[in-house]
Amino acid sequence: MNTLDLRDKRIVVTGGAGFLGRQVVDQLLKAGANLDKILIPRSQEYDLCTFEACQKVVQGQDIIIHLAAHVGGIGLNREKPAELFYDNLMMGTQLIHCAYQAGVEKFVCVGTICAYPKFTPVPFKEDDLWEGYPEETNAPYGIAKKALLVQLQAYRQQYNFNGIYLLPVNLYGPEDNFDPRSSHVIPALIRKVYEAQQRGDKKLPVWGDGSPSREFLYSTDAALGIVMATQDYNEPDPVNLGTNQEVKIRDLVETICELMGFEGEIVWETDQPNGQPRRCLDTQRAKEKFGFVAEVDFKQGLKNTIDWYRQHAEPVAV
């Protein structure tokens, strides 16, 4: 395996100031990258939905790690499907094209688990990515991101452009997005339980019936996997990043309540959507191709995330 030496590489990390991005930058530094040569384009300065901004960002760079995304939970996907489709497609497709034109050495594209078909056999294997339509609530987002895989494979075939595509499962960890309008399931639940406790509520309403399953990857593990792939993976096939552990939403809610000491009643709102029925990844390819195995224990990761949120939570109006 020819490990890419990051010491003198000029690296762009889009979304590098975000939840996952900060961890990726940290892992890049641990792998030998030079902080002075890492560019983190900020949205105030670079609107990556425009071609000109993409051209500026990639100029003179060696590696692009594309993490930036317009993303959220079921609520945001139902409210803004057009924005999620357009923003994610335009950001990614123009960035890839500009990177190829600028002679960038390697492009690392971080996709989404939402790209998988609604009824993918569990555990999800990368080869099943095209076996059906994604779950309807997040299909616009998932398809926009999946189109970037096709683009990278086409550019590799025609231009010999080295682009790789990674599929992380739902991420969680300290510094996550806890905004109830756009957060994913773990931060949304932690905030919901915290606020219920502050108000002294005896009931906790939760969307769906608790039957779906998800898989969760701690943010430092995800960042480690991305940097390992940046250094050691150079093939056209997409690669899952996950833990291969399936967690039922019902069990997740009960575990968070237990860790936070909430003793009220969980009320399942069965008129609200469940989202995709099951999610769990086959993680064999990442292990075989670049040696990635997730390290952080799920309960410990939840504890770390809860502790962080409690320290940073806004006061709740009672």
Active-site residue list: 141
Q: Is 16 known to sit in a ligand binding site?
A: yes
Q: Is 168 known to sit in a ligand binding site?
A: yes
What distance in Å separates the CA atoms of residue 262 and residue 203, rounded to the nearest whole number?
10
* 3-state SS class at 218: strand
Q: Is 103 known to sit in a ligand binding site?
A: no
Q: Is 169 known to sit in a ligand binding site?
A: yes
Q: Is 17 known to sit in a ligand binding site?
A: yes
**What distance, in Å, lies between the first and last C-alpha atoms of the chain?**
58
Select from 295, 206, 216 the least CA-distant residue to 257.
206
Q: Is 132 known to sit in a ligand binding site?
A: no
H or E stretch covering 259: helix 249-260
Select from 294, 54, 306, 72 the least CA-distant residue to 183.
72
Q: Is 19 known to sit in a ligand binding site?
A: yes
Q: Is 48 known to sit in a ligand binding site?
A: no
60 CB-contact burial (10 Å; exposed 0-12 / middle 13-18 / buried 19+): exposed
Q: In this structure, is the dihedral angle defined by the CA atoms of residues 131, 137, 142 and 143, taken in order, positive or negative?
A: positive
H or E stretch covering 239: strand 239-241
Q: Is 18 known to sit in a ligand binding site?
A: yes
Q: Is 193 known to sit in a ligand binding site?
A: no
Place of tokens 């492009």: 107
CA distances, 104 to each of 99, 170, 223, 296 (Å)? 5, 29, 21, 33
| Alpha carbon of residue 191 to chain centroid | 20
Q: Would you say 162 and 105 are in contact if contact means Cβ atoms under 8 Å apart?
A: yes
CA distances, 170 to each of 2, 140, 151, 180, 280 (Å)? 30, 17, 24, 16, 10
Q: Would you say 31 and 63 are in contact if contact means Cβ atoms under 8 Å apart?
A: no
Q: Is 214 known to sit in a ligand binding site?
A: yes
What distance in Å separates the CA atoms of residue 16 and residue 48, rounded to the nearest whole number?
13
**Binding site for NADP(+): residue ranges?**
15-21, 145, 168-171, 184
- Binding site: residue ranges? 15-21, 145, 168-171, 184, 192, 207, 214
Q: Which residues define the annotated binding site for substrate?
A: 192, 207, 214
